[in-house]
Amino acid sequence: MAFAFIFPGQGSQFVGMGQALADAFPAAREVFDRVDTALEQKLSDLMWTGEVDELTLTANTQPALMACSLAAMAALDAEFGVNITDAKFVAGHSLGEYSALAAAGSLTIEDTAKLLRIRGNAMQSAVPVGAGAMAALLGASVEDAEAACAVGSEKGIVQIANDNATGQIVLSGEVAAVEAAAQAARDAGVKKAMMLNVSAPFHCDLMKPAADAMEGALAEACILPPLVPVVNNIQARPISDPDDLREDLVKQVTGRVRWRESIEWMAGDGSVDTFAEPGCGKVLTVMLRRIVKGVSGNQLDTPDALKAFAKEIKG
């Protein structure tokens, strides 16, 4: 069995996230404590008993999702003997790439939490409220989405933000441009084009101020070679050189999340037949079914799920 860990991005959060892991496993609890200390905030309290509106603030959501993923990884290792080096690759969706790097030993948990706090604040403040928008195109190909963006670009900035799965593409940019692109997609016969309720237009050129902020923050961060290769969002191929990882984390802020291609590569050239999603929910596990056939997906968000996965891996 060849497997990869895939780490979720924004949208998987919910109040109560990770509490079952912290209650069941001391190693998981330690991860939450380390993140709380690094941020000088009881983020774990917000995650478990806080208000959903505060949890969904980008500056809180990003480190919270990372903490949940790394808590699951710590418990897998300490309680069940499943180590990151048992995996062939790691990958993460948007902010999940930071979780992947921390899991693979490239970043410390503390540095990852601080970087994601900077990233969350920078992305939220990069564009004035109401100036940006995102839209999901369902049933669209990349070519359909690019054609829609070409029409929308007459109104301003609009580009593909996420190539999530076969027939699931997200656009991002200025409001008028995204609306025009969504309408162009409908006119072209795309199954569904709907505006999304988001706090900012992520992964487009409007995020340039956030990319600049991350370039400065990452320049000072210690990034080590990962223990297993990281299939990153920018190249959709395995990367291990710290300088390349650092450069692509900056590009990722304004660049396309090439998730479909990443999964296709791991399942194809990478020969991965099993994927495991540590942390929160099953967003990426569900996407798998739309991208490749014949692979196994595992959501690792409860003590029982961790135990079952470890049994599958270890036999």
Active site residues: 94, 203
Report how far apart, in Å, the C-alpha atoms of 61 and of each of 11, 67, 114, 122 are.
8, 10, 13, 13
If you ran DSSP here, which 8-state letter would residue 205 be given? G
Separation of alpha carbons 238 and 1, rounded Å: 19
Give the position of tokens 């330690």.
30
β pairing state of 3-7 and 230-231 = unpaired
Q: Contacts by 289-293 with C-beta closer than 8 Å and gap 24+?
A: 290/165, 290/166, 290/167, 290/168, 291/165, 291/166, 291/260, 291/263, 291/264, 291/267, 292/263, 292/264, 292/267, 292/268
**List of residues 6+ apart from 227 with CB closer than 8 A:** 84, 85, 104, 105
Separation of alpha carbons 301 and 75, rounded Å: 11
β pairing state of 296-300 and 274-278 = parallel
Pair 80, 188: CB distance under 8 Å = no
Helices (H), the chain: 19-24, 26-39, 43-49, 52-55, 58-80, 96-103, 109-125, 142-152, 175-187, 208-219, 242-254, 259-267, 283-291, 303-314
